[in-house]
Structure formats: C-alpha cells, structure tokens
C-alpha cells in the first residue's frame, strides 16, 4: 500500500531538513514543491508531498511520520 504525507514548514533550512529526513527514511517526492505567503503569520511557507510503499494496511490511527 502507498501512504502519503504533505510536509510543510516556514521557508528555512528546517524545511529542507524535514524533506531530507523523509527521503532518508524511504519516502519519495510526489509532485512539485509548493511555495506560498502565509498572510496570518507574515512568512513564506513551503510544502512537499511525499509517498512511501508500506506492507501494513491503512488505518487512520497510523503515525505517518514514524513509517
């Protein structure tokens, strides 16, 4: 089964580290990254979808970040 996550973070090195960590755990990039201005907080935000094949059935209780 393929699982999906959307990684988001302020436009900083933390975003790159979050994506790099996911890639090191076997997640794969899915689509293009996004970049938008967060008016409420006055910062640019980044997003990147990632997917991963897992051997367990889907459950809403899954902790996707621990997969």
Residue 55 CB partners (closer than 8 Å, separation 6+):
1
> Domain extents for the chain?
2-56
Model confidence pTM above 0.85: yes
Q: What pLDDT, on a 0 to 100 scale, did the predictor assign at position 66?
A: 78
The Cα 15–Cα 11 span in angstroms is: 6
Q: What strand order describes the sheet that includes 43-53?
A: 2-10, 43-53, 28-38
pLDDT digits (tens, 9 = 90+) for 16-29: 999 999 999 999 99
Residues of the chain with pLDDT under 70: none
pLDDT at 13: 95
Report which secondary-structure segment, H or E, holds 23: helix 13-24
Q: How far apart are CA 56 and CA 11, in angstroms?
A: 33
């Amino acid at each position: 089964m393929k699982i999906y996550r959307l990684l988001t973070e302020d436009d900083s090195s933390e975003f790159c580290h979050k994506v790099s960590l996911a890639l090191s755990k076997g997640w794969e990039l899915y689509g293009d990254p996004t970049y938008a201005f967060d008016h409420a907080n006055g910062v640019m935000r980044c997003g990147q979808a990632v997917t991963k094949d897992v051997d367990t059935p889907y459950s809403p209780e899954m902790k996707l970040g621990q997969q």
